Structure 1
């Protein structure tokens, strides 16, 4: 980690890499695997940004949780990702209460 690098960004990047690796290793069919992979790619790009978008991080986290949240083998990695997102002051409950995107995100996750 370089001097001055935000440790939250490092934690987000590590959490994205961990879940991405575990999802890649998970061989069972998942109907929404592509949704999770797209959102992990978006979070990976956000982890490289100087000022990540909190709403976009919440949206990505919601879609990932909807896509793979019921897979117990991936639950620890999903929890770590949630913690990394929340470190930016983005509580996981805020999305459904405050984001105007919640209904669309839920519909997109269920496709």
Structure 2
């Protein structure tokens, strides 16, 4: 896998996927098995594929069927760190914007950090 697009694939292929079985299979290719996802500075990280898959499932239950993540700028890489900016919503309504930063190790995402703008 081309590690320079791992974070893009994480957002567009995993977080937009509403099938938990397909999502988990993709996660195994993109994430380290012991990945840590830091949702906020005030919470403990979600650790491991199942934990993150369950989180995505829970979040998606509150989203309208046409909600998806869309990139708002070209992803950036610097050695083992990647950055991506995005918006979440439907084509005519944005409900959240933010960015993700990923730490890459052995060509998989080892740690994922969320930064919400609103």
Normalising by structure 2, what TM-score?
Answer: 0.28
- Larger strand proportion of the pair: 2
- Larger helix proportion of the pair: 1
